[in-house]
Amino acid sequence: MHITFTDSAKNRLAALRSNLEGRLHLYYDTEGCSCENSGIFTLRLVEEKTAEDNEIESNIGPVLIKRWTEIFLEEALIIDYDDAQKTLILKSDGQYYNRNLLLVTDKDEVISCPVTL
């Protein structure tokens, strides 16, 4: 499995992260959903890899993912940025997985604006 981050996605992600620590985790969030098949992917900043995690190669370095969620995704993924909608997008050549891919902290805080110092 491989993720390609477009240049616009890399720029947006860098602005959102600013100086925030953590590894990127392509996280399948099922909170509030009735079953494992009813979830949505987010990008989560986590402190470390767990025993449940695999690494996905990407053009910006390894991205973590829970082993059991890989079955929901195709082998080649793209994370893009839509400047008009101000959203990150998780997609493949065949479909969209999430047109509003949120960046969240490990405490479930959504990072929606670039951090300013």
Domains of the chain: total: 1
**Is residue 116 over pLDDT 80?**
no
In this structure, the dihedral spanned by the alpha carbons of residues 17, 95, 35 and 41, taken in order and rounded to 10 degrees, is 0
Please check whether residue 64 lies inside any domain of the structure.
yes
pLDDT reported for residue 28: 92
Q: Give the predicted TM-score (pTM) of the model.
A: 0.89
Residue 82 sits in a domain of what CATH number?
Answer: 2.60.300.12
Residues 117, 115: Cα–Cα separation, whole Å: 7
Please check whether residue 110 lies inside any domain of the structure.
no
CA atoms within 13 A on the CB side of 115: 12
Please check whether residue 114 lies inside any domain of the structure.
no
Provide the residue range defining the domain that includes 22.
2-104
pLDDT digits (tens, 9 = 90+) for 56-87: 999 999 999 999 999 999 999 999 999 999 99
pLDDT digits (tens, 9 = 90+) for 25-48: 999 986 655 445 568 899 999 999
Please check whether residue 75 lies inside any domain of the structure.
yes
Please check whether residue 109 lies inside any domain of the structure.
no
Q: Give the 3-state secondary structure of residue 102.
A: coil
Please check whether residue 111 lies inside any domain of the structure.
no
